[in-house]
Amino acid sequence: MGGNFVIAGGSKGIGLEIVNQLLPFADRIDVLARSRGELADHEKVVRHDMDFTSDNLDFSNIPDIVHGVVYCPGTINLRSFRALKPADFVTDFEVNLLGAVKFLQGCLPALKKGAAEKTASVVMFSTVAVSQGLSMHASVAAAKGAVEGLTRSLAAEWAPKIRVNCIAPALTDTPLASRFFSSPENREAMAVKYPLGRTGLPADLAATARFLLTNESSWMTGQVLAVDGGMSTLRK
């Protein structure tokens, strides 16, 4: 299939697995993150140091033509509403929403050129805590709710050439969520909450992102896909 992809947060967790799943068919993958993380050297992969909470980000080194982009940086800041300070909401909003805005504005010229060649696709990440009321999730749910709104707005604004979709995971075994997997007992306690009997793996989410980035999903835009072991829709 080919194509150039830019993965914000492709150095760890779900983003890293997206890079791995794109490698067999991508021409080039640019990874933007604050650190190398667990990203291995590969001839198709170009790494850029970038912190999306900073201003004046430089996108001049990404390819001129880009066919797919993913924004992965996110937060899990779980506290009671009483314990959350306004600054916590600002932090979550900066990483989840404003970072995505900076990323998409930086990539837009290259995405438009990719769309002129064939089509272009954007994938964002939300959380199951937007569609489900989960206690202790007020700050992250508010920020990710904004991400879902951004997804639908941009899907409308950029149709028909650039598709914009979003994935809403439940608990997935990544560095971000490592405290929930700190012992076999914790892991099991989390797993039994899911209708499908387990928590998520980065590969579960990356497979969905890969689908949304390719022409297999060419008639989908403006969607928020729940990839959550059944948590958002089923009761056992």
Ligand X SMILES: NC(=O)c1ccc[n+]([C@@H]2O[C@H](COP(=O)([O-])OP(=O)(O)OC[C@H]3O[C@@H](n4cnc5c(N)ncnc54)[C@H](OP(=O)(O)O)[C@@H]3O)[C@@H](O)[C@H]2O)c1
Residue from 18, 29, 95, 138 that binds ligand X (CB under 6 A)? 95
Mark 154-178 as b/e (b = at least 16 C-beta within 10 Å).
bbeebeeebbbbbbbbbbbbbebbe
**5 - beta bridge partners?**
29, 68
Provide the 10 A C-beta neighbour count for residue 219. Answer: 7
Q: Is 79 in the site for ligand X (CB under 6 A)?
A: no
Residue from 3, 4, 6, 14 that binds ligand X (CB under 6 A)? 14
Residue from 9, 63, 114, 229 that binds ligand X (CB under 6 A)? 9
**Contact letters (x/-) for ligand X, 103-122, by CB under 6 A?**
--------------------
Q: What angle do CA 35, 227, 6 make, to 5 degrees?
A: 35
Q: Is 100 in the site for ligand X (CB under 6 A)?
A: no
Query: What string of DSSP letters covers 166-215?
Result: EEEE-SB-SGGGGGGGSSHHHHHHHHTTSTTSS-B-HHHHHHHHHHHHSG
* Minimum CB distance to ligand X smaller for 42 or for 118: 42
Q: Which residues contact 195 (CB under 8 A, 6 or more apart)?
A: 229, 230, 231, 234, 235, 236
Q: Is 68 in the site for ligand X (CB under 6 A)?
A: no
**Contact letters (x/-) for ligand X, 168-207, by CB under 6 A?**
-x-xx-xxxx------------------------------
Q: Is 12 in the site for ligand X (CB under 6 A)?
A: yes
Name the segment binding ligand X (CB under 6 A); options: 33-41, 80-88, 188-196, 218-226: 33-41
Is the Cβ–Cβ distance between 104 and 50 less than 8 Å? Answer: no
200, with CB counted inside 10 A (0-12, 13-18, 19+), is buried
* Minimum CB distance to ligand X smaller for 199 or for 221: 199
Q: Is 125 in the site for ligand X (CB under 6 A)?
A: yes
Shortest spacing between CB 163 and ligand X, in angstroms: 19
For binding to ligand X (CB under 6 A), which residues are involved?
A: 9-15, 33-35, 37, 50-53, 72-74, 95, 125, 127, 169, 171-172, 174-177
